[in-house]
Structure 1
Amino acid sequence: MLLRVVHETSYRYRPAVDTAHHVVHLKPASLDGQTLQHYALQIEPPPAMLREELDVYGNARTSFSFQSAHERLTVVAESIVRTTAAPRERDAELAPQLNVPWEQVRERFRYRAGAAYDSASEFLFASPYVPRDDAFAEFARAVFTPGRPLLEAAEALMTHIHTHMTFESESTEVSTPALEALKQGKGVCQDFAHIMVACCRALGLPARYVSGYLLTSPPPGRARLIGSDASHAWASMYFPGDGVQGGRWLDFDPTNNRAPGEDYVRLATGRDFLDVSPMRGVIRGGSRHQLDVAVTVEPMEPMEPMEPAGLT
């Protein structure tokens, strides 16, 4: 599937901002199942400094700053991405990794003096938006039963979150902790992803947060609306190698209770939202501001009929 993504962020400041520095994660990566074919970043007014680099997790990160006063800021990222489906359930080579009892994976990541380093281990620990709390372990134990294969348990956890949480726009803020969202039983895709990551870590299993986009389907008879989509988020769990095959990260979308496929575009991965926020920054001045975000995800080729996906 060939997808075009346009992500536009606009700020209006009162009074004007004197100086500012911003960081954005808006450039999709080329990785398994996804190839970036075009990317353009437009910033108005033109920044005094602009630099693109890789962050500590390998995501493309762009920094830019302004040294003069401005009352508006517009950032438009346009991407064209080729995606392919990754039907992991048919991947025979992954079978040994996916069918290992989840306790064996947990034991693999217990600290042992002299043990070989596995980079996935850094995704075991608490992070700013994903604390370690027994409430997450208790919630996850309903499906992480003794001896259950890791993939089966992970899919069951995804469904468990989808069933027990209610998707409700504006029910949480960007900074809402995962524990608060779990207690109130509702949230948005960011909260669903944070909860799944927190549950895995509480059980001793590495998990990370993924930001990106999802192609949504308009109601029958309705045209696709420009700017009506939104950023999306989901979780990723680590499946260690078996000595022959290397370790793999597999993605799970608890908001929509499905495995991400060719209708998803991945932007960045990190410990939680704070690591991969699409845009954040520090400003001097501009005591009041108005923020507008518009995202459009559209196919550039004729599509095969597909089941409608939930807007997240």
Structure 2
Amino acid sequence: MHLSVAHDTVYDYRPAVETAQHTAHLQPRDTALQRVLAFDLQVSPTPDNLRQGQDAFGNPQAWWTLAQAHTQLRVVARSTVQTAPPLDLQGTQPWEAVREHFRYRSGQPGDAQTCFVFGSHHAPLNEAFAAYARNCFGPGRALQDAATALMRQIHSDFEYASQSTDVHTPALDAMQARRGVCQDFAHIQIACLRSLGLAARYVSGYLLTQPPEGQARLVGADASHAWASVYLPELASSPCGGWLDLDPTNDRCGFGAPGEDYVVVAWGRDFADVSPLRGVLQGGQSHTLKVGVSVEPMA
């Protein structure tokens, strides 16, 4: 599938911002199932310098400085991406064995994905998360089956409610309220998996805005989307590196991506690692934000 992605962000400031430094995760990454054919980033006002590279997780990242006063910042990212269907893999390793895989053993080499076992700001370790997940993680159950069951449990138990939370809402609060948006559901799934001693990461991306004829429109298709993924060490040598993607918002999962209609932008420990756009400003004490996202198939 060939997809055209447009992500338009506009900040209006009052009073003017005197100087600013920004970083962005807006360029999709190349993966086993995804190839970026073109990418263009336009920033207005024109930055004094703009650099592009990679962050600590290998995600494409941009940095720039604005030294002139401005009352508006507009960032437009356009991408052309080729995607493929998820890989057909089946993991059978019991979840307890995977948990033991991450235990520290003196003199033994560790797994590089162990960094995703530890709690993070938006997906902390907490017994409440473990308790919520335990009925999906029976003795000896394969991690792939258990993690998928947890995804479906979150999808069933939680209400998608636009603007019911924001980036600062703790995952525990969203879990107790049983409502939120895709970001909350991803953080809850990740926190549940980590609280059981498993490796899980946060994935940011996009969904096809208008589905093919006869298919339902997915929730979250009019903005940036987010989902979780869990690591299966037994499949580490596969093209997806052993990561099973889980979208509790839409009850979709797959190795490499939840579906061909998903675009992967970045992954990290939680939202804080892969925020689409963030900055440090001097001035601009108040602002309004407008974001528009479209993902369209190309002929």
Scaled by the length of structure 2, what TM-score is found? 0.93
Cα gap change, 1:173 to 1:154, in 2 (>3 Å): same
- 1:124-273 matches, within 5 Å, as 124-217=117-210, 229-241=222-234, 247-259=241-253, 260-273=258-271
Distance 2:121 2:175 in 1: 16
- Identical amino acids, percent of aligned pairs: 53
- The number of residue pairs the alignment matches comes to 289
2:295 corresponding residue in structure 1: 297
Alpha-carbon separation, structure 1, partners of 2:237 and 2:15: 60
Comparing 186-195 and 233-242, the one that deviates more: 233-242
Closer, same or farther: CA 32–13 of 1 in aligned 2, 3 Å? same
1:101 matched to 2:74? The reply is no
2:276 is matched with: 278
Q: Report deviation, 1:69.
A: 0.5
d(CA) in 2 for partners of 1:218 and 1:38? Answer: 22
User: Where does the alignment leave 5 or more consecutive residues of structure 1 unmatched?
Assistant: 302-312
In structure 2, the partner of 1:85 is 85
Residue in 2 that maps onto 1:67: 67
Q: Normalising to structure 1: TM-score of the pair?
A: 0.89
The Cα offsets for residues 17-45 of structure 1, whole Å up to 9 and x where unpaired, read as 10000000000011111000000000111
Q: Is the 8 A contact 2:8 2:291 kept in 1?
A: yes
Q: Where does 1:1-16 land on structure 2 (aligned, <5 Å)?
A: 1-16=1-16
Secondary structure, counterpart of 2:147 in structure 1 = helix
Distance 1:243 1:80 in 2: 28
- Aligned-residue Cα RMSD (Å) equals 1.9
Conservation of the 8 A alpha-carbon contact between 2:236 and 2:242: no
SS at match of 1:141: helix
CA offsets per residue over residues 166-200 of structure 1, 9 Å max, x none? 11001111111111110110000000000110011
Distance 1:20 1:84, change over 3 A: same
The equivalences for 1:18-97 within 5 A come to 18-88=18-88, 91=89, 95=90
Compute the displacement of 1:156 (Å).
Answer: 0.3
Partners of 1:100 and 1:268 in 2: how far apart?
27
Q: Can you give the 5+ residue segments of structure 2 that lack an aligned partner in the other structure?
A: none
Residue 209 of structure 1 aligns to which amino acid in structure 2? Y
Q: Could you tell me how far apart the structure 2 residues matched to 1:17 and 1:61 are?
A: 23
SS state of the match for residue 156, structure 1?
helix
Indicate the residue corresponding to 2:104 in structure 1.
Answer: 111
Read off the aligned partner of 2:244 and give its amino acid letter. Answer: L
